[in-house]
Amino acid sequence: MMPWLERPWQQLNTSFKAGRFHHAQLLAGLQGVGKLALAKGLADAILCENTSELLACGQCKSCALIAAQTHPDKLLVSSEGATIGVDEIRAIADFIYHSAQQGGNKVVIVHQAHKMTHSAANALLKTLEEPNAKRFLILTCDDVAQLPATIVSRCAKSDIAVQSEPQVRTWLMQQLGDYAEQPWINLFMSQPLKIEHWFETGQVEQINQLFHSIDTLNHAADVSQCVELLIKSPELVNEMGRFVQGRIKQALYDGADFAKITVAQQALVDFIKDHQQIPGLNLQLALLKLFTALKQALQ
């Protein structure tokens, strides 16, 4: 278990052993903090026939089915896309309604529940309003503000976050060795699995390139490669924003003109707002506008 998941797990285990474990659990925290790993661990523990702890024993028949990834009483609902639709949520009601094939508990994980459409959330609410014995629902959510309050209020919520940077640093060194020494790593300490994912998928090259482009950004810099990279991988726009924020801070520290820095800061705020709120935004134009403002400020 990742060390920062230990504490929330302990709390859940305490309520489990006291017979107070809620049928609907909400794990809330930043993307890349390990919510899905914890949700899967909890699901396995709920299905395990050994119920002395909220931990899968690894020995029983249920645990063998889990290890073979063929446990019929476990359902994971998730979406690679932007939304989770109503059909996927209705399937949960069907799944829960039928009796457990192994005669024990049934568990559903809804990963990134904030992606649910309005009607999907309404369908889930119905399921939450009619709790069934031996049926458990575990939701993960990157941003609770995006979940209807009616859903949040029907779940037991656990906030998942890293507890200390040294702890994360040690963990990253164990996973990645010397590769964990990147100049940008401090900016993502609260999302360790995000960092791990970049290394596993090879995307770390792009992150390095992006960081370097922003770090060396000045009035004479050529930003065409950086723009090209972001057009190709628009999912990295938020990371770029964080690098720009760092670069602006550094410029201020180095004694750059305050008025110009304010203009650069505003350009970044405008860009992020447009990026989030304008569907079909011309990303290339928006990026060029941002970088032009930044170049003028970072002389």
Q: Residues 6 or more apart from 155 whose CB is under 8 A from it?
A: 22, 24, 25, 26, 128, 137, 139
Determine if 128 is a binding residue for Zn ion (CB under 5 A).
Answer: no
CA 203 vs. chain centroid, Å, equals 17
CA–CA distance, 64 with 57 (Å, rounded to integer): 10
Question: Which CB, 48 or 272, lies closer to Zn ion?
Answer: 48
Question: Which CB, 65 or 221, lies closer to Zn ion?
Answer: 65
Q: Residues 6 or more apart from 33 whose CB is under 8 A from it?
A: 4, 160, 161, 162, 190, 191, 192, 193
Determine if 55 is a binding residue for Zn ion (CB under 5 A).
Answer: no
- Look at residues 121, 51, 43 and name the one whose alpha carbon lies nearest to residue 86: 121
Using the rule CB under 5 A, which residue among 30, 37, 55, 57 binds Zn ion?
57
CA–CA distance, 158 with 6 (Å, rounded to integer): 12
CA–CA distance, 5 with 42 (Å, rounded to integer): 11
Binding part of the chain for Zn ion, among 41-49, 119-127, 143-151, 251-259 by CB under 5 A, reads: 41-49
Total residues contacting Zn ion by CB under 5 A comes to: 5
Question: Which CB, 62 or 182, lies closer to Zn ion?
Answer: 62
Binding part of the chain for Zn ion, among 51-59, 136-144, 169-177, 245-253 by CB under 5 A, reads: 51-59
Using the rule CB under 5 A, which residue among 28, 46, 48, 251 binds Zn ion?
48
Question: Which CB, 101 or 225, lies closer to Zn ion?
Answer: 101
Using the rule CB under 5 A, which residue among 2, 24, 28, 63 binds Zn ion?
63
3-state secondary structure of 111: coil
Determine if 60 is a binding residue for Zn ion (CB under 5 A).
Answer: yes
Q: Which residues bind Zn ion (CB under 5 A)?
A: 48, 50, 57, 60, 63
